[in-house]
A and B are shown apart, each in its own frame.
Chain A
Amino acid sequence: MTRTVLVCCGTGCLANGSKAIADKFEALIAEKKADARTECFVKRTGCNGFCENGPLVKIMPDDIIYYKVKLSDVEEIIDTTLIGGKPVERLLYKDDKGRPVTKQEENPFYAPQLKTALRNIGFIDPLKVEDYLAAGGYEGLKKALTMTQDEIIEEVKQSGLRGRGGAGFPTWRKWQTAREQNAEVKYVGCNGDEGDPGAFMDRSVLEGDPHTVLEGLAIAALAVGAEEGFLYIRDEYALAVKNVTAAIKDAEAHGFLGDNVMGSGRKIKFSVVRGGGAFVCGEETALIASVEGKVGEPKPRPPFPAIKGAFGAPTTINNVETLANLPVILRDGGKKFASVGTEGSKGTKVFALVGKVKRTGLVEIPMGVTLRHLIYDIGGGIQGDRPFKAVQTGGPSGGCIPENMLDLPVDFDTLKAKGAMMGSGGMIVMDDRSCMVEVARYYIEFLAEESCGKCTPCREGLRQMLGILTDICEGRGKKGDIELLESIGEMMQDACLCALGKTAANPVLTTIKYFRDEYEAHISGHRCPAGVCTALTSFKVEADKCKGCTMCAKACPVGAVSGEVKKPHKIDPAKCIACGSCREACRFGAIATEGRKGK
């Protein structure tokens, strides 16, 4: 029989040494050819999404998945599984009850997932077009080549697909506008400038299944009548840039792109543009300016890019995940796609579930599941079973959602109505040790730096908010600060030029709305309830809980903790820098926080 070893080579697993593991599998399998009954192949796949437990190794067709594989485990896997056909139990994932699970779909992290955009990732070698073809690749494009422009747009309309980048604009409508333009040259673009901190869905798709993005973009090109396209990818995503560049070359060599697409006589050419590390370039008019080789500042709309975009030509820009859904929509039909999801939000959505949650990683689920399902069933709950405080969705433009809203369905419209947004899919879970004022300050600092400075409300509004929030976090908060923040935020929602500024106040406004008591504790109570803001926090050891295990003393970077083994320890307030390392290290909950020293 034939067995395939799938070694995850996404950025996360590579960071944990998966390349050496794949190399060793190849070398040892070649060496051990002795066993003639099994023929083994090694495949280097894209990101499986469960990076925290990487490196991941899958064995097919046995459907065994191993986690946290080390170089020293390779030989045992070969002997026991590849040759012996049995699982290596200690490398299996243990579910919430501690039982080992063999198959991927038995893992509580993967079990509820339904994969469309991520369908191939983890199973194919992203650098082999043959793998993509074997998985039904380029079938959608083949079908699109037999359809008229209007038929393609109609199919996408039936699917109900909305832009996955955050705004949720219906994809077909964007295309329709560009299609109606009577222009000789039109462009299609892929927005791979995934700038939301805490989100990595697009990185995973670009790295792990670049051909699906190319196929999606080619379908978009046929629909709007463009022959040229670009993929704008963050330069920080080195592997994504590499894999997409290689995929374009490969697709051209196989006739899926180029001067004569699949023998149809149609011409479609794509190129990669590397982003320069500017968050605002995720905004499509700024992205276009950057593609033109200019400073990436947004432009007022209208004219919309679909009418006048790159180099003055009609330009349609779609997000990576949106494009990854298109081959499936064309291949299997829009109706089938629309059978999943909610009334207004069809299909599945990929989320980056990160932060203080037990199981972090990439999750693709049908639209409309609740936040609670996502965080507690798939994510396994909060790390250390600490209390949940909030989940931040939608990146810097989104908001913080409190516990009493966890039963809301996640889709484009529900969260928006609550002042947050689903956004591109970042979900950052926070526990009682995350300070909501500091989180708001963090986002505003991020945006103040990333604001291009072109329009005054954004530039000045962010600067003022940052000053106020920094004062509050550093213990200089004043009465009236909260109201002032609200008023600046509302002004920005009305007056800013682009989406960056219009939504910039969301993290501040939602944290004030749902966690006002934390702001007040900082301002009038002189304490940070989460124990994060160093100026408003001091740590002490609760002697009755301390077991004298010395973990805190080892973790302290400044030697402020002292004590004898098995006796309660002490923190020297004069040396303590309030970094909280001792609290993280303590397994007995013996480190307590108080307000500012001397208060």
Chain B
Amino acid sequence: MADKILKEIIDRYPRERRYALAVMQDMQRHYSYIPREGLELLAGHVGCKVAELYSMATFYKALSLKPRGKHIIKLCNGTACHIRGSVNLINGINRELGIAPGETTEDGEFTLELVNCLGSCALAPVMVVDETYYGKMTLEKLPSILGEYRKEAK
């Protein structure tokens, strides 16, 4: 089953190395990570070694080799967000969910990612959960926002 979807993603692109990153991004989007079978199939498709794709998967921040949570919390730590208190939010999320940047909660619900800049600096500090932006974040707002997603999970 997984193989079929992977194949379909790969077949959207010509058999050229230059499309390897785009294919991996599509896999990432679909699975929230890149499965090993995906790397192997792609290596065969574009004609390179799995190790070369592995080096890309570990180099580019947008790609992950580990499954991520159902909800992705992207906390912006760009300069504008940083000086407006994003570090306090990192600690706040840690208190709420018990996860540090890069980690996923045990129940697989949330993954916390630090991102360098979302280009929404005028709204700093910014947090994005899945596709929803939360601007001018404060520690006070945090519990209720995360609560919404928790409720949804139950």
Binding site for B on A (CB under 8 A): 11-12, 14-16, 50-52, 194-200, 203-204, 235-237, 273-279, 290-296, 311, 352, 354-356, 360-361, 392, 395, 426, 428, 430, 434, 439, 442-443, 446, 450, 452, 554-555, 557, 577, 579-581, 584
Minimum CB–CB distance for B110 against chain A, Å: 18
Do the beta carbons of A12 and B122 come within 8 Å of each other? yes
Q: Is the CB of A14 within 8 A of B133?
A: yes
Docked CA distance A296–B18 (Å) = 12
Query: Does B85 make an interface contact (CB < 8 A)?
Result: yes
User: Given A295-B55, A295-B56 in contact, is the A12-B120 Cβ separation under 8 Å?
Assistant: yes
- The 8 A-B pairs with the shortest beta carbon distances in the complex, nearest first, are A276-B60, A15-B133, A197-B78, A277-B61, A200-B119, A51-B122, A198-B79, A277-B62
Q: B105 contacts the other chain (Cβ, under 8 Å)? A: no
CA distance A352 to B16 in the complex (A): 38
Are A442 and B79 CB-contacts (below 8 A) given A236-B115, A293-B16?
A: yes
Chain A residues whose CB sits within 8 angstroms of the CB of B3 once the complex forms: none
**B81: shortest Cβ distance to chain A, in Å?**
8
List B76-102 residues whose CB lies under 8 Å from chain A: 77-80, 82-85, 88, 91-92, 95
CB distance from A194 to the nearest CB of B (A): 7
* 29 intermolecular pairs with C-beta atoms under 8 Å apart: A11-B118, A11-B120, A12-B123, A15-B135, A195-B116, A197-B77, A198-B79, A199-B119, A235-B25, A236-B115, A236-B117, A273-B22, A277-B61, A278-B59, A290-B21, A291-B18, A292-B18, A293-B16, A293-B17, A293-B19, A295-B56, A354-B79, A354-B121, A355-B83, A356-B83, A392-B79, A434-B83, A577-B91, A580-B85
Decide if B79 touches A426 in the complex (CB within 8 Å): yes
Among A274, A311, A360, A452, point to the contact of B122 (Cβ < 8 A): A360
Beyond A15-B133, A352-B121, whether A197 also contacts B61 by CB under 8 A is no
Residue of B82, B85, B91, B124 with highest tally of chain A CB at under 10 A = B82
Closest-by-CB residue of B relative to A195 is B116
- B139 in contact (CB, < 8 A): yes
Interface residues contributed by chain B, number (CB under 8 Å): 46
B63 with A276: CB separation less than 8 A: yes
Within the assembled complex, what's the spacing in Å between the Cα atoms of A426 and B134?
A: 22
Bound-state CA distance A356–B121 (Å) is 11
> Which residues of chain B come closer than 8 Å to A293, judged between CB atoms?
16-21, 46
Q: Let me know if B79 and A52 touch, CB within 8 A.
A: no
Contacts of B88 in A (CB 8 A): 557, 579-581
Taking Cβ atoms with an 8 Å cutoff, the residues of B that contact A are: 16-22, 25, 46, 52, 55-56, 59-63, 77-80, 82-85, 88, 91-92, 95, 115-124, 126, 133-135, 138-140
Contact call B117/A195, Cβ cutoff below 8 A: yes
When chains A and B are docked, how far (Å) is the Cα of A446 from the Cα of B116? 8
Report the minimal beta-carbon distance from B42 to chain A, rounded to whole angstroms: 11
Question: Given the complex, which residues of A lie within 8 Å of B134, measured CB to CB?
Answer: 15
Contact assessment for A235 and B62 in the assembled complex, using a CB-CB cutoff below 8 Å:
yes
Q: Is the beta-carbon distance between B82 and A581 smaller than 8 angstroms?
A: no
A11-B21 contact given A197-B78, A428-B80, CB 8 Å threshold: no
Chain A residues positioned under 8 Å from B79 (CB to CB): 197-198, 354-355, 392, 395, 426, 428, 439, 442-443
Residues B83 and A361 in contact, CB atoms below 8 Å apart:
no
State in angstroms the CA–CA spacing of A235 and B24 once bound together. Answer: 12
Other A-B pairs beyond A15-B133, A200-B120, A355-B84, 20, CB < 8 Å: A14-B133, A15-B126, A16-B135, A194-B119, A199-B119, A200-B119, A203-B119, A273-B21, A273-B22, A277-B61, A292-B17, A294-B52, A296-B60, A311-B18, A428-B79, A430-B83, A439-B83, A443-B79, A555-B139, A581-B139
Instruction: Knowing A197-B80, A278-B59 are in contact, say whether A52-B85 is a contact too (CB < 8 A).
Output: no
A-side contacts of B21, CB under 8 Å = 273-274, 276, 290, 293
Residue of B nearest to A295 (CB): B59
Contact residues in B for A200 (Cβ distance below 8 Å)? 117, 119-121
* Chain B nearest CB, measured from A286 CB (Å): 10
